[in-house]
Each structure stands twice: as structure tokens, then as C-alpha cells.
Amino acid sequence: MHDRTPQTRHLTDADRIDRLRLIRSDNVGPRTFNSLISHFGNARAALERLPDLAQRGGAVRSGRICSEEEARAEIAAASNIGVSLVAPGEAAYPPRLATLDDPPPLLGVRGAPEVLMRPMIAIVGSRNASGAGLKFAGQLARDLGDAGFVVISGLARGIDQAAHRATIQSGTVAVLAGGHDRIYPPEHADLLTALLEHGGAISEMPLGHVPRARDFPRRNRLISGASLGVVVIEAAHRSGSLITARMAAEQGREVFAVPGSPLDPRAAGTNDLIKQGAALVTEASDVINAVQPILERPVMLETREGDEPLDFDTDPGERERVVALLGPSPVSLDDLIRMSGLSPTIVRTVLLELELAGRLERHGGGLVSLI
């Protein structure tokens, strides 16, 4: 069983430092990072332009730019605890994760590198899981592991930890919401240590970062993005697991759901997913048969939205036209292009400048709003 992308990339030390400096600078997220690299050619050139672009976006003062000393210190500290910072296309960067529109420009990985290159199935679900849910999660994970798949999950209480524990020997990957040295929940530090021998852990956050509520949806996009598909076992309405399922669908991943009793609120979300078209799962073969055709196709790194051109010769009047259409309510890029009458290139450029100025917030589904 293979799920590999040809590994054609290896960053120099200088490139790695520059990329780390750029992604750790204020108001630079993965999408903005990709746009800047695409336009300026490399991270160092983009770093030089950050103050000017933020000013064009209306920043009162320039945001903090990560220094070379800070970047070197982070790389050294990461290395001390066995964490490597790898870029899309490098060995140990999960191939499917690299195909996202917003892959982490540098991903902190540790554990067994080869496990991160194998085909993954995500298993997620309720933190307050039932005994039956925990038992099924363990059995499904074990069967998938025996079939050669790596189980990926979020190291959370409940379903996540049951899936991890069942696949410690066959290989499992934990996706962290905080830095590699800030495990959440803290009581799962021993579980993480145990799974690292045959499995791995990944995070896009810097060392020392304590996870906040808004970090968990970011983590969830990595869980779904690295996988062939996501299996949801017990999820109440408005739960984090449903966010993961939605992201999986947006990323073109398979979505699976385990049915539950209509009387159990923990099954309300999964039953709704099935109504909406998610594949019903009662055993591992349901998942394996669905992803088998995908496995037979090579993973391709395609052109991303962020790779499209930018135009920094934007007229001030055009910039104001875009800003005037923005407000606290999220709006889509397509609507902004249509309502402004401007080209996609100009609208994307204005949004990038606003983001670097700390004035723009990006939401799921390609929506943006003014802060």
C-alpha cells in the first residue's frame, strides 16, 4: 500500500530559517504565506516587503517580523526534543496535507518519519463518548491498522484517545493544537510518548504555544487534510468533530459516519451527517472499500489558489472600493469580485494587504470579514 508523493524538495538551512521567519511574523497565515512566496519568489524577498504591504493595507504601525535569531532559536529548541520543521514536498511531510490550499509552510514533526508518509484515515468523535462508542472506535482503529492504514486523530479525550491507544503498535499520528511541548490535555502526555515509537505527532504551532479555542479548528483542518477520509463516531450538534467533517468535505476527502441511537444526543451529529450523504460505517471494510480507488491514484501537488498572481500597483480608489464592501459579516471572494467590478487579482491583492495590516479575518469556506 502506497500513498507517496515524489520527494523532490530539500530546503537549505537559510531557506528554512527565512520560511520560519515569514510564517512566524505577525498577520502571516498559510494562505498569505503562499501568496507572498508565489509573488516574490522566496521568503527573504517577501520579508523585506512586509512593512510596506502592511502600511498599504492601513496598518497604523508595522507588525512584528520574526528575527533570524528567533528562528534559529526555535529550530534548535525543536531539535532538542526531536522535532523537525519540514516543508511541503520534503520527506516526513504528509503527502495529502501538502495538497491543501493552506498547508502549513513548515510543519513540526516527530516520531517515526516513515509513518507520516503512509495512507491515513482520521477517526474523530465526542470527548464525552459512551462506552459503546469507545469500544467501536478502538475496534475500527485496530482493524484499519491491521489493514495497513495509519490512524490520525487529535489526541483529545474520548474517541480520539481510544483510536490512538488501539493503534500504538500499528502506527498512529497525533495532531496537536498547541506546540509540541504544550500537550493538551496534559494527562495524554504519556499516551503521546507511547505512540511516538511507531507513530508520530505533528503541529504547525511554535514551541511554547498553549492551545486556545480558536486553535482547534486549525488543528482539525490538518487532521482531515492529511487523511484519505474522516470517520466520525459520536458527535453532538455543533461539535468540533462536525467541523472536521465539514473541512474534510471542503478538502475533497471522504466523510464517513457511524450511526447511533436517535435517543442519544451524542449521535445527533453523526446521524445528520448520514442524512446529508456521508457514507455509513459499521465495520472497517466500509472505509477500506471506499478509499481503495483513491489509493490507486498518485498524490499530486496541484496549483493552489494562493499561487495566483498579485498586483501591488493597485490604485487607491480600487483599494477603497474593496474595503467599502467589507464589514463584520463574512463575505466570499467571488461576491467581492462581482460587486466591486474589479479583477480577481486586484481583489486578492487588497485582501492580502488588509490581512498583513491586521484588519482582515479569514473564515471557513473562503469567507472574509473586516476586523
Task: Look up the domain containing 222 and give its range.
Answer: 108-295
Confidence tier at 297 by pLDDT (50, 70, 90) = confident
Query: Please, what's the b/e burial string for 298-319 (b: 16 or more CB within 10 A of its CB; e: otherwise)?
Result: ebeeeebebeeebbeebeeebb
Give counts: helices (H), strands (E), the chain: 14, 12
Contact 125, 159 (CB under 8 A): yes
Give the end-to-end CA distance of the chain in Å, rounded to a whole number.
Answer: 47
- Residue 350 pLDDT exceeds 90: yes
d(CA 119, CA 107): 18
Same domain for 360 and 245? no
For helices 43-56 and 30-40, give the axis angle rounded to 10 degrees: 110
Same domain for 257 and 338? no
Domain contains 98: no
- Residue 162 pLDDT exceeds 90: yes
Give the residue-averaged pLDDT of 197-214.
96
Whole-number mean pLDDT of the chain? 92
For 256, counting Cβ atoms within 10 Å of its Cβ (0-12 exposed, 13-18 middle, 19+ buried), the class is: buried
Same domain for 131 and 260? yes
Domain contains 328: yes
Same domain for 289 and 210? yes
Same domain for 214 and 353? no
Share of the chain above pLDDT 70, in %: 96
Mark which of 295, 328, 348 sits at the end of a domain.
295
- Residue 340 pLDDT exceeds 80: yes
Same domain for 198 and 130? yes
Write down the pLDDT at residue 61.
79
- Residue 242 pLDDT exceeds 70: yes
d(CA 353, CA 318): 13
Q: Identify the CATH number of the domain in which residue 119 sits.
A: 3.40.50.450
Residue with more model confidence, 319 or 110: 110
Q: Identify the CATH number of the domain in which residue 357 sits.
A: 1.10.10.10
- Residue 2 pLDDT exceeds 70: no
Same domain for 314 and 290? no
